[in-house]
Structure 1
């Protein structure tokens, strides 16, 4: 299956680049200093550019998607989240999508059974897998923030302790490591095993999944298998934060592969479907209030129209109206 094999080979080649460069060419400074700064610059500039471009786009119609009772008569109960009539509830609906994937929770699946019998059923696995993937990834990113502080904030320490409350291994086992690996595997197998998903899937759908899976596997390997020393890693991260540009110390080659793949993901982010992270807040089907009957939505594309009163119209055509024997207000 070329759609999946090509992205897999691309990730493998990308992983070999820093491995060979650091292990055999001694390019630790390039992969530890230059590329991370470049990747962060591309991520920030690209993200802001895409968001600014979307913010400039006019919204010609009031098109919120609704699946509940809109605001009507006082004795009819309104579904304020599914059909918001104010900015507050529209914002609450967007936040519920961001944090809980409410629309995906209602996801259904249609299948043919016994010939031509089309059946519909609830499909919560995609919602559960997506929720586990995004929340685990968020917790992992926040946990890694401790490398950028000399003194770890209490909030990050509490989060770290909660993630490894099953402290039965050495080093401590993080639940999110297993959850994110299981979730990304589920999302990948879903696109491979489901025939309908294979048809509509593109190589750009598989590439970020393989890339994130490689990043996760390398991170787990460095913690539980190869045991990379975290002190040089933290020193490098502190140098990056403080813009000291000092050469990195002795760190395992797998760390540079891990860091390089993260940089690739950061560079790829603004130009991919991953920008839905910012686009969800600007989606007119979600962030608009369903109040078009109470408040007129003005199309910003409409040009300014100069209106003429009837008196002005009559002044222009009075003589012609008289010849046609049409009544006029002024003689």
Structure 2
């Protein structure tokens, strides 16, 4: 039902600009006012979220680790510098691989329960989710960069390079871009995973389905414009350059499919800062990723500690409670702390 509600809501979003432009003739509203308002909401909301996260206190070192910590015997116990980084440089390389290669998702494993002579939990590699995710994200990123040609004059050289590489397997005219197919395929696969897998479907809310359906609608409307509707690209360039230079003008040659596409993009921009899509900047501010695991090498003081309360080191704790610890059979760093005072004096 969550998927159905999300799909119906996206369908209603498609109908709004169709009626607003064709029936109500609100071309300036859908061509200028809504996109500019959405961009302002996106920018302000994005900055506000990032500043809020950056100002949040992180009193403890809580990096997620999955490998051997730096040992006194590096021969027998070599450190895993990416899964258990101890320095800033090691953490930096871990973040680079996380952001650009989705390394933690690549190492993802699937869990299954088998009934062979009793329940047995089995783990196996699960690379398909990583493949779907990286295809979707990189396709989306390249498509967004290619759209810079509509907002910049002259067009940057890297945009021409991206268009050449993206359309290297030219099929028909206009050129079919690989990222157009990759974006749609990636969204469909991620959406199908939530619909088909009963465990993922059970924990999926409308907030999980809606952005996928919305991004799919944005991609399909853009593909429809490029390959079927054949909109006037020069008129669109005139409109977008007017938005950038604050000289607003909506050419008459622009047709309804463009307004549908722009309205869906505007909804996505306005929705972005308040949704789960904010994981894009969030990964840079996640203490489970951006902090080195150096708690055994350095002493970190909790900034929330009351300055009136004196710290009680373990050595002092062992001196105070060494006797009952020894009687309970607990190991002591200093065995002398486990000897009663009268025996020690004697």
> Residue in 2 aligned with 1:322?
none
Deviation of residue 229 (structure 1)?
1.4
Q: Is 1:56 equivalent to 2:55 in the alignment?
A: yes
Deviation of residue 291 (structure 1)?
0.6
> Residue in 1 aligned with 2:238?
235
> Residue in 1 aligned with 2:284?
281
* Counterpart among 201, 206, 213 of residue 203 in structure 1: 206
* Counterpart among 171, 181, 185 of residue 182 in structure 1: 185
Runs of 4+ in 1 over 4 A off after TM superposition: none
Q: Structure 1 stretch 134-143 or stretch 219-228: which is displaced more? A: 219-228
Deviation of residue 306 (structure 1)?
7.2
Q: Is 1:119 equivalent to 2:122 in the alignment?
A: yes
Q: Give me the whole-angstrom Cα distance separating, in 2, the residues matched to 1:159 and 1:57.
A: 38
Q: Give me the whole-angstrom Cα distance separating, in 2, the residues matched to 1:168 and 1:271.
A: 39
> Residue in 1 aligned with 2:102?
101
Q: Which has the higher contact order (CA 8 A, sep 6+)?
A: 1
Q: How does 1:287-326 map to 2 (within 5 A)?
A: 287-305=290-308
> Residue in 2 aligned with 1:220?
223
How many residue pairs get matched? 307
Deviation of residue 258 (structure 1)?
0.5
> What do residues 230-270 of structure 1 show as CA deviations (whole Å, max 9, x unaligned)?
11111111001111123344211011010000000001001
Aligned residues of 1:28 and 1:248 also touching (Cα < 8 A) = no
Deviation of residue 303 (structure 1)?
2.9
> Residue in 1 aligned with 2:70?
71
Q: Give me the whole-angstrom Cα distance separating, in 2, the residues matched to 1:117 and 1:227.
A: 57
Q: Is 1:171 equivalent to 2:174 in the alignment?
A: yes
Deviation of residue 298 (structure 1)?
2.1
Q: Give ranges in structure 2 of 5+ residues lacking alignment.
A: 311-346
Aligned residues of 1:22 and 1:28 also touching (Cα < 8 A) = yes
TM-score, structure 2 length as denominator?
A: 0.86
Q: How does 1:28-39 map to 2 (within 5 A)?
A: 28-39=27-38
Q: Give me the whole-angstrom Cα distance separating, in 1, the residues matched to 2:237 and 2:27.
A: 15
**Alignment RMSD:** 1.5
Deviation of residue 74 (structure 1)?
5.9
Aligned residues of 2:232 and 2:253 also touching (Cα < 8 A) = no
TM-score, structure 1 length as denominator?
A: 0.89
> What do residues 81-124 of structure 1 show as CA deviations (whole Å, max 9, x unaligned)?
11111112212212211111100011111223456443221111
> Residue in 2 aligned with 1:310?
none
Q: Give ranges in structure 1 of 5+ residues lacking alignment.
A: 308-331
SS of the aligned residue for 1:81 comes to coil
> What do residues 201-228 of structure 1 show as CA deviations (whole Å, max 9, x unaligned)?
0000000000000000111111111111
